[in-house]
Structure 1
C-alpha cells in the first residue's frame, strides 16, 4: 500500500490502473471526471484544516480524512470537525466505480460508466452523462442529474431531485419534503419511474409519444395531466391520475400525501409525425 499526506495544494498522478475510487471530505468541492486514459490524476487545489490522507491499496484509490468513516456517514455531525475544507478534482478511467461522501461539500461526477454512490449531509450533488447505476443518499442536499442513462436511486429527507433529459431504464426516489422534477427524453428503455413523497411536489415530463401504465395518487394535494388518455378523479380530498399511454410497456407511479402532482408532455421530436388532439391540461 502507498500513502501520502496532503497538507497543501498538490497534484498526484497514478500510472497503475485504478479499479475503485473512494472520496470523503467535509466542506468544499469534489469533482470526478471519467476519461479514456488508463492512468488517474488527483489535484487538490484548495485545502484548509487537517491534511487529507491519500492511499493506494491494490487498485483502490482513497482520498479522505482519517476521522471520517464511510459507514455511518450520514450520522456524522461533529461540529468541531466541520471546520475544514478542500477542493479535490480527480480524473479516473471511465469504468471506475466511484464512492463519494460529502458533509457540506458539493459533489460533481461526469462522464463515468461504472457504479456511482454518493452519500451527503447538506452538500448538493450534480451528475452529468453518467451511464452506470447511481445511488444518492442525502439529508438535505439536492441532486441534479443530466443525461444520466443508468438506473437512478435517490433517498433524501428534504433534498430536491431534478432529472433533466433522463434516459435511464429506472428512476426510484423517496423524500419527505423535497420536490421531485423528472424529465424523460424517451431515448432509453421503457419508462420505469417510482416516486414517493410526503409533502413535496412531484412533476414528471414524459416523452411524446409516451408508453407507460400510469398511477399517481395524492391524499390532499392537487393533480394535473397534459394527457387526454389519462383519467383524473378522486373523492374526499384524495385525487389520482390513472390510465395507459401507448402500449403501456413502461410504468410510472407517483405517490405523495399533501404535495401536488403534475404530469407534463414533452413536445414532439422534430422528426416525429404530427398528431391531432387536445393538449390542454386536466386539473382537479
Structure 2
C-alpha cells in the first residue's frame, strides 16, 4: 500500500478509507484527543477521521503508511522523545482530534500538551515531558512515562505501567489485573472498583504520598512501608507496626489472591475502605472506629 503524506499548516479534516491499526501522535503544546470507535460506525462515516483545528508554528506532517497513521512534527522523533528540548518549541501549538478503530495501537508523545484518550481496546503508550493525560474506559494495556506530567485514569481495565519523575497518578474505578507505578516525588491515588478481578498493585515513590482505596470485601496480601511518613489503616485484619521511624502495614485480606505492595521513603500511606455498596451513604461506614494512624 502506497504511502500518503500531507503537510498541515492550517485547519484541516481528513478521512481515511483504508484500515488504521496503529496511530502515532507527537505534538508540542496544545491538545490531543483520541476516541476509539466501533469499526462498523467508522465505515458508515467513511473511515478513521482526523481533525486538526489549530496549528501554530511549523506544520504538522500527516503520514499514512499502510495501516499506520502518524501525526507529528518532522523534527520530533519517538525515539529519545523524553529528552527532546528545543527552545523553538515555545512557538508551537496544535489541537488534534482523531476517531480510530477501538483496537488500534496508540502512541502519543506530549511536550507541554494535554491528551484525552478514551474507548481504546488496543495497547496505549504515552510519553510526556510536561502536560497532563486523561484516560477513560481503556481495556488494553497502558504504558505511561512522564517527566512531570500527571496521569488520570478512569474506568481502565487493562494493565497499567506508570513511571514518572514528579508527575502524579490518579487511578479511579480501576479494574485492571495489574498496576505498577514508580515515581520520585509524585503522589498516587488508587481507587479500585468493587467486584473486580484480583489485582497486583506495586507502588513505589521516594517522597510522594500514597492513598489506596480497596473494595470491601477484598482479597489481597498487603505490605506497605514508609521510612519516615505516617500511616493510616481502615482494615481490622491488617497490622500496623513501628512507633518511631519506619512503619509498616501488613496482613491478608480475604483469600489473599491479590497483592498490594506500597513503598515510600518520606511520604505518608493511607489504606482506605470502599463502602460495601456504592449507593450507601459514605458517612455510614465506621472508618474512624477502626482506623489507626501513626
Please indicate the TM-score interval, normalised by the length of the shorter structure: over 0.9
- 1:24 and 2:26 matched: yes
Partner residue, 1:115: 123
Change (3 A) 1:72 1:151: same
Aligned partner of 1:151 among 147, 159, 178: 159
Normalising by structure 1, report the TM-score: 0.96
Superposition pairs of residues 130-169 of structure 1, within 5 angstroms: 130-169=138-177
Distance 2:16 2:26 in 1: 19
For residue 82 of structure 1, report the CA deviation from its aligned partner: 3.2
- 1:194 and 2:202 matched: yes
Q: Say whether the 8 Å CA contact 1:227–1:279 is kept in structure 2.
A: no
Distance 2:79 2:146 in 1: 14
Distance 1:188 1:149 in 2: 9
Change (3 A) 1:54 1:265: same
Aligned partner of 2:13 among 11, 14, 26: 11
Kindly report structure 1 stretches of 4+ aligned residues shifted beyond 2 Å.
Answer: 274-280
Superposition pairs of residues 190-229 of structure 1, within 5 angstroms: 190-229=198-237
Aligned residue-pair number = 283
Structure 1, 73-82 or 90-99: larger mean CA deviation: 73-82
For residue 269 of structure 1, report the CA deviation from its aligned partner: 1.7
Partner residue, 1:259: 267
Structure 1, 201-210 or 32-41: larger mean CA deviation: 32-41
For residue 187 of structure 1, report the CA deviation from its aligned partner: 3.2
More helix by share: 2
For residue 81 of structure 1, report the CA deviation from its aligned partner: 2.8
Q: Which runs of 5+ in 2 are unaligned?
A: none
Superposition pairs of residues 65-144 of structure 1, within 5 angstroms: 65-144=73-152
Distance 1:248 1:156 in 2: 29
RMSD: 1.7
Q: Which runs of 5+ in 1 are unaligned?
A: none
Normalising by structure 2, report the TM-score: 0.93
